[in-house]
Structure 1
Amino acid sequence: MQRYVCLMRAGHPLAAGDFSMEAFMAATHAVVVAKATGHGIVEEQLARAGIDRPVRLQLPHFAAVPYIISESDLVVTVTDKFAEATRRRFGLAVREHPLPFPEIPINLFWHRRYHRDAGNRWLRGLLFAMFAE
């Protein structure tokens, strides 16, 4: 299971102290618009809760997120696993999201034909280790 958190540079004004919904809504945001990833739940939940925030940057994928966030005052909503994987290397701060999101299950599927395949087993093991709780 994964949960959503807010990621920002370590020196961001919201990296310490109060991180209320009002502070979240007043901050400038980057948004990852990654199709077919399930990340759209973020925008759906925020819209459903009537939460509007200034979005200054839309990104098509997660690869550039830590580079941009570490050099700006933008806040981005990402999964906790992504945040932990990038936090130290890029000098980022992780804050609990002020809006409670449902936890997200992570599933891995493969065809039974490849169940015993050595390469497939290696990849599955690697992914399980990365996303294990």
Structure 2
Amino acid sequence: MNIDHANLSRLDLNLLVAFDALVTERSVTRAAARVGLGQSAMSHALARLRTMFGDELLIRGPQGMRVTPRAQALIQPARAALAQIQEMVARREAFDPATEERTFTIGMPDSTEVLLMPKLIALLRKEAPGVRLLLRTIDRIRILQDLDQDRVDLGIGLFEDGELHHKRRLLQRESYLCIFNPELIGVTPPISLEDYVRLPHVLTSLVETPHGVVDDALAKIGLSRDIALTSPRFTAAPFVVKQAPVIATMHARVARYFAEVLDLAVSPAPVLLPDVAISMLWHASYDADPGHRWLRETILKLSDERPPSLNLWLSKADDEGG
């Protein structure tokens, strides 16, 4: 590709920075604060951007400022260009975890946090003490927008959608187990289909609707279940199960973990449920970033490990058929 130096020299690259702040904040005042400019300077930048692209870019609406179709089409190319410039200027040819000072924002469900964070934080304190993590609750509907707007560096969870500029890496495949207190429900493993549909259930769902994969599976065989509680917090369900005559169906690893911690029973679900793929998702602009890559590789390695306290218990459970 030939560079048109004469025309490109007339372009102020700071306008791309202003553009990204404006379309992210949808507010001249907030965009100015984000970049560190005065409001009048940001207004002037918006005027220059409108002239440069021949489009209003941001227009006022009932809910505040909104981007035009032209601005929407410019967002990803502008961010990709800024990311490449930032990478070039930073000259990050290597990442030394022992000396790096950096904060990563990760979106993940609390069930993953319980299993992954103790190991990851222990490793960071030992090998990368300057690396800090900011965790956010994952939202499968909003995660792509969070990645595109640089609010999240990495997402971990169940992801079905994505664009060409979103990168994905499988961490593990998960099956399901039922978890319950045998003394309260009067059932010992393995739980029967009759007991499964008879007993009240705790459903964990990030979309907070009283319907999940279990309901889809039961519907295929003409059955339904009684859902006593729906919660977006996976780690709350085992504590409810511990003290109430209800059962929950959870990803196998977290179910086994809480079964040991809370002295609960686990059992295969008596209905055919599909395995789920737990993946990492990130924006392509960070694909070659050495620090980001180091974090992804570290998480991938730790995801293959079982919590040390569970090794003996899991070996016994595996010998007994799960």
TM-score for the superposition, normalised by structure 2: 0.36
User: How do 1:1-133 and structure 2 match up within 5 A?
Assistant: 1-12=173-184, 13-14=186-187, 16-17=188-189, 19-35=191-207, 40-115=212-287, 116-118=289-291, 121-122=294-295, 125-126=298-299, 128-130=301-303
Deviation at 1:113, TM superposition (A): 3.4
C-alpha contact (below 8 Å) 1:30/1:55 kept by paired residues: yes
Question: How far apart, CA to CA, are the structure 2 residues paired with 1:43 and 1:114?
Answer: 38
Deviations 1:29-54 (A, max 9, x none): 11123219xx9323222223322122
C-alpha contact (below 8 Å) 1:10/1:91 kept by paired residues: no
Deviation at 1:28, TM superposition (A): 1.7
Question: How far apart, CA to CA, are the structure 2 residues paired with 1:44 and 1:132?
Answer: 31
Higher alpha-carbon Rg:
2
Deviations 1:67-116 (A, max 9, x none): 11111111011110120221111111110100021211222222343344
Question: How far apart, CA to CA, are the structure 1 residues paired with 2:239 and 2:266?
Answer: 15
CA separation of 1:74 and 1:105: change in aligned 2, threshold 3 A: same
Question: How far apart, CA to CA, are the structure 2 residues paired with 1:25 and 1:128?
Answer: 38
Deviation at 1:22, TM superposition (A): 0.7
RMSD: 2.6
C-alpha contact (below 8 Å) 2:198/2:226 kept by paired residues: yes
RCO higher in structure (CA 8 A, sep ≥6): 1
Quote the sequence identity (%).
22
Question: How far apart, CA to CA, are the structure 2 residues paired with 1:62 and 1:49?
Answer: 27
**Stretches of 4+ moved more than 4 A in 1?**
none
Quick one: which amino acid aligns to residue 129 of structure 1? L
Partner of 2:44: none
C-alpha contact (below 8 Å) 1:81/1:131 kept by paired residues: no
C-alpha contact (below 8 Å) 2:189/2:265 kept by paired residues: no
SS of residue in 2 equivalent to 1:105: strand
CA separation of 1:128 and 1:103: change in aligned 2, threshold 3 A: farther
Which shifted more, 106-115 or 92-101?
Answer: 106-115
Unpaired runs of at least 5, structure 1: none
SS of residue in 2 equivalent to 1:57: strand
C-alpha contact (below 8 Å) 1:34/1:40 kept by paired residues: no
Which shifted more, 113-122 or 65-74?
Answer: 113-122
SS of residue in 1 equivalent to 2:254: helix
C-alpha contact (below 8 Å) 1:28/1:75 kept by paired residues: yes
